[in-house]
């Protein structure tokens, strides 16, 4: 995997470094990044599709498609495109993340 993929940062801005981990690997992002941006900058997806069709990394970036739900090691689930990344977050992308929501 030498060819870069994922988001490319064009405007770094003057921001603090955030340290977090993806599937146990320590990685970095910048304050103000959404969890999804933080994942994509590090070439990671958000989750593995529970239907076995590969991985998913969001689609709409505006909270509408629900394809970016991620699971944290502590069990929290969140919409990655709408949640700012925080120091110490432990994100698990290798598990299918079954979103719980009422009415389903």
Give residues in contact with ligand FES (CB under 6 A): 58-61, 63-68, 79, 81
Q: Verify binding: residue 14, another protein, rule CB under 8 A.
A: yes
**Distant-in-sequence contacts of 43-48, Cβ < 8 A, 24+ apart:** 43/1, 43/4, 43/5, 43/6, 44/6, 44/91, 44/93, 45/93, 46/70, 46/80, 46/93, 46/97, 47/71, 47/93, 47/95, 47/96, 47/97, 48/93, 48/94, 48/95, 48/96
Q: Restricting to residues 61-100, name those near another protein by CB under 8 A.
A: 61-67, 77, 81, 84, 99-100
**Binding partner of residue 100 among ligand FES, another protein, none, CB cut-off 5 to 8 Å per kind:** another protein
Number of residues that this document lists for the chain: 104
Q: Verify binding: residue 12, another protein, rule CB under 8 A.
A: yes
**Binding partner of residue 40 among ligand FES, another protein, none, CB cut-off 5 to 8 Å per kind:** another protein
Q: Which residues in this chain contact another protein in the complex, by CB under 8 A? A: 3-16, 30-34, 37, 40-41, 45-46, 49, 51-67, 77, 81, 84, 99-104
């Amino acid at each position: 995997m030498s060819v870069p993929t994922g988001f490319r940062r064009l405007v770094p801005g003057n921001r603090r470094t955030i340290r977090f981990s993806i599937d146990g690997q320590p990685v970095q992002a910048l304050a103000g990044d959404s969890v999804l941006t933080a994942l994509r900058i590090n070439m990671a997806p958000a989750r593995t599709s529970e239907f076995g069709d590969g991985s998913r990394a969001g689609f709409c970036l505006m909270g509408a498609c629900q394809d970016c739900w991620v699971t944290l090691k502590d069990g929290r689930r969140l919409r990655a495109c709408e949640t700012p990344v925080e120091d110490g977050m432990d994100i698990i992308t290798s598990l299918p993340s079954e979103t719980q929501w009422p009415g389903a």
